Amino acid sequence: MTTEETARPVLGKRARQRQAIESEILRVAREHLATEGAAALSLRAIARDLGMVSSGIYRYVESRDELLTRLIVDAYTSLAETVHDAHDQVEPADLTGRWDAIGNGLRSWAIAHPHDFALLYGSPVPDYTAPADRTTQAGTAVLVVLLRLLDDVDRAGRLASPPAGLEESLATAALGPMLSDDFFAGTGIDATALAQGLAAWTLLLGAVTSEVFEQLGPLPDAEGLFACLLVSASGLFIDAD
């Protein structure tokens, strides 16, 4: 008979209540982030929205920085999920199609969540340094899909020839050490290929950044420009059919 009780340590009422409040806080925080932006994130305002006294929120959230960290990790996983989904809807043999999916996925996510994007790829939030152990891991999730594509491009023999001047020695010296990371285990990627993939990724990120942050002023056809940049980026590591 005691089995019934020990078999459902489903979390006591208290723990459940706590979890509910914590997720409520995160929900409201995300709401504020989406509407006001990261810098306007105020614990007091969140507490107010939740009908609790300003000091009460510190029972659930250690500090403003910790809340930021949670939001960052959230955003990273949301982004990675979006990009992965977009990528996986293209048939594996269509290499440039997969790249386009990655690029468009990133762009549309960034446009839909500009403040989250700013949190991840914009200037670091003042007086806040992201705890590397929690964020960089989440941050690499997006890069996994790029690495998969890069590896497949290589395996298919469709790797673009590196630009003149990108000697293998240069790439190896700069990127060789990174290749020994677990991250690259099981791939046949070499330093030059990695350099090319990173160049494409950097161009992609620059394109999205410049569009979301409006660095070139108001553009007549942002969509079209992005399409051009996406082609340029793809050409950096994928050979034409």
Partner DNA sequence: CGTAGATGTGAGCACTGCTCTTGTTTCCAG
Partner DNA sequence: CTGGAAACAAGAGCAGTGCTCACATCTACG
Positions in the binding site for DNA (CB under 7 A) = 12-14, 17-18, 21, 41-45, 52-56, 58-59, 63-65
Among 95, 139, 145, 159, binds a second copy (CB under 8 A): 139
Residue with tokens 């964020």: 135
For position 125 contacting a second copy by CB under 8 A, the verdict is yes
97 binds a second copy (CB under 8 A): no
Sign of the CA dihedral running 111, 112, 113, 114? positive
Among 56, 92, 131, 177, binds a second copy (CB under 8 A): 177
By C-beta, is 52 or 166 nearer to DNA? 52
CB of 217 to DNA, least distance (A): 25
Question: 238 pairs with which residues across the strands?
Answer: 159
Beta carbons of 238 and 158 less than 8 angstroms apart: yes
Given the rule CB under 8 A, which of 79-87, 105-113, 149-157, 216-224 is the region that contacts a second copy? 216-224
Is 70 or 158 the residue whose CB approaches DNA more closely? 70
Residue 188: name its binding partner from DNA, a second copy, none (Cβ under 5 to 8 Å by kind). Answer: none
| Residue 237 one-letter amino acid | F
| Residue 81 · residue 37 · CB < 8 Å | no
Per CB under 8 A, does 122 bind a second copy? yes
Structure tokens at 131: 């705890």
**Sole binder of a second copy in the list 132, 157, 182, 188 (CB under 8 A):** 132
x-or-dash string of contact with a second copy, 145-174, rule CB under 8 A: ------------------xxxx---xx-xx
Rounded-to-integer distance, Cα 14 and Cα 115, Å: 34
Site membership for a second copy, residue 188 (CB under 8 A): no
* Cβ atoms of 200 and 231 closer than 8 Å: no
19, 23, 89, 136: which one binds a second copy (CB under 8 A): 136
Does residue 90 contact residue 98 with C-beta atoms inside 8 Å?
A: yes
* Separation of alpha carbons 123 and 74, rounded Å: 18
- Is the distance from CB of 28 to CB of 47 less than 8 angstroms? no
Closest CA to 75 of 106, 99, 104, 46: 106
How far is the first Cα of the chain from the last one, in angstroms, to the nearest whole number?
69
Contact footprint for a second copy (CB under 8 A): 36-40, 96, 118-119, 121-127, 132, 136, 139, 163-166, 170-171, 173-175, 177-178, 195-196, 198-199, 202-207, 209-210, 213, 215, 217, 219-221, 223-225, 227-229, 231-236, 240
